Chains A and B, each alone.
Chain A
Amino acid sequence: MKSNIMFLLVVILSLAMSLTVIGKTNITFMVWGNIFEIQAYQRMVDKFNQSQKDVFVNLQSTSWGAYFQTLQNRIAANNAPDVFVMDGAYFDNFAKEGVFYNLTNLMKDIDLSKYYFEPTACEYNGIFYGAPKDITIGGILYYNKNLFDKAGLTYPNWDWTWQDWLDAAKKLTNIDANKWGMYIPTYGEGGLYQIIWGAGGHILNSDRTQFTLTTPDTLKGLQFMYDVRYKYYVNPSESYMQGLSDPFMTGNFGTVLGLSSSIVGYKSLPFKWGIAPIPKGPAGRYMSINQLSYVVSAQSKNIKADWQFIEFLIGPEGQKIMAENGQAIPALKSVVPVYFDNFPQATGLLDILNKSNEDPSILRDIPFTLSWYEWENMLESTLEYAWTNTMNPEKAASMAQQSCQKILDRALKQ
Chain B
Amino acid sequence: MRKSKLITLIAFVIILIGAIPMILPFVWMISTSFKSLSDTMVFPPDFFPKTLRWENYTELFNLVPIKDWFLNSIFLSVMNSIGVIISSSLVAFGFVALNFKFKDFLFTLLLVTMMIPFEAVMIPQYILFNFFGWINTLYPLWVPSFFGAAYMIFFVRQFFKTISTSYIDAAKVDGANYWQIFYKIFIPLSYPVLVTVGLLTFINTWNYFLGPLIYLNTPSKMTIVSGLSFLSGQALGYWNYIMAGSTLAILPVIVLFLIAQKSIISGIELQGGIK
A, B bound? yes
A-B contact pairs, 6 of them (CB 8 A): A35-B219, A65-B229, A66-B210, A73-B123, A178-B43, A269-B38
Assess whether B229 is in contact with A66, with CB atoms less than 8 Å apart.
Answer: yes
The reply on B187 being an interface residue by CB < 8 A is no
Q: Which of A50-83 contact B (CB under 8 A)?
A: 60-66, 69-70, 72-74, 76-79
Size class of the B contact interface (CB-based, 8 Å) = 20 to 34
Assess whether B235 is in contact with A76, with CB atoms less than 8 Å apart.
Answer: no
By a beta-carbon cutoff of 8 Å, the part of chain B in contact with chain A is 36-38, 41-44, 63-64, 122-123, 126-127, 130-131, 135-136, 210, 213-214, 217-219, 226, 229-238
- A69, A77, A268: the one contacting B130 at CB < 8 Å is A77
Residues of A within 8 A of B127 (CB): 73, 76-77
Taking A34-B236, A66-B213, A70-B217 as known contacts, 11 extra A-B pairs with beta carbons closer than 8 A to each other, sorted by chain A number, are: A34-B238, A69-B213, A69-B214, A73-B123, A76-B126, A77-B135, A79-B135, A244-B43, A246-B41, A262-B236, A270-B38
Assess whether B136 is in contact with A265, with CB atoms less than 8 Å apart.
Answer: no
Q: 8 tightest CB-CB pairs across the interface, nearest first?
A: A249-B41, A66-B213, A34-B233, A60-B217, A63-B229, A77-B130, A265-B236, A73-B126
Assess whether B235 is in contact with A262, with CB atoms less than 8 Å apart.
Answer: yes
CB 8 Å contact bits of A11-36 with B (1 = contact, 0 = none)? 00000000000000000001011110
- A74, A77, A79, A264: the one contacting B236 at CB < 8 Å is A264
In the assembled complex, how far is the CB of residue B126 from the closest CB belonging to chain A, in whole angstroms?
A: 4
Assess whether B123 is in contact with A61, with CB atoms less than 8 Å apart.
Answer: no
- B131, B218, B229, B235: the one contacting A265 at CB < 8 Å is B235
Residues of B within 8 A of A405 (CB): none
Assess whether A38 is in contact with B126, with CB atoms less than 8 Å apart.
Answer: no
CB 8 Å contact bits of A252-265 with B (1 = contact, 0 = none)? 10000001011011
CB 8 Å contact bits of A161-184 with B (1 = contact, 0 = none)? 000000000000000001000000
- B44, B213, B217, B235: the one contacting A65 at CB < 8 Å is B213
- A35, A69, A72, A178: the one contacting B44 at CB < 8 Å is A178
The reply on A317 being an interface residue by CB < 8 A is no
In the assembled complex, how far is the CB of residue B65 from the closest CB belonging to chain A, in whole angstroms?
A: 9
Residues of B within 8 A of A73 (CB): 122-123, 126-127, 214
Distance of A249 Cα from B237 Cα, bound (Å)? 12
Distance of A74 Cα from B114 Cα, bound (Å)? 25
Distance of A66 Cα from B127 Cα, bound (Å)? 17
Q: Which residue of B lies closest to A252 (CB)?
A: B43
Distance of A46 Cα from B251 Cα, bound (Å)? 36
Residues of A within 8 A of B36 (CB): 268
Assess whether B230 is in contact with A38, with CB atoms less than 8 Å apart.
Answer: yes
Residues of A within 8 A of B219 (CB): 35, 38, 61
Residues of A within 8 A of B64 (CB): 35
Residues of A within 8 A of B233 (CB): 33-34, 37, 63-64
Residues of A within 8 A of B41 (CB): 244-246, 249-250
Find the residue from B43, B229, B238 having the highest chain A CB count within 10 A: B43
In the assembled complex, how far is the CB of residue B184 from the closest CB belonging to chain A, in whole angstroms?
A: 45
Find the residue from A30, A38, A65 having the highest chain B CB count within 10 A: A65
Distance of A91 Cα from B2 Cα, bound (Å)? 72
The reply on A198 being an interface residue by CB < 8 A is no
Distance of A60 Cα from B222 Cα, bound (Å)? 12
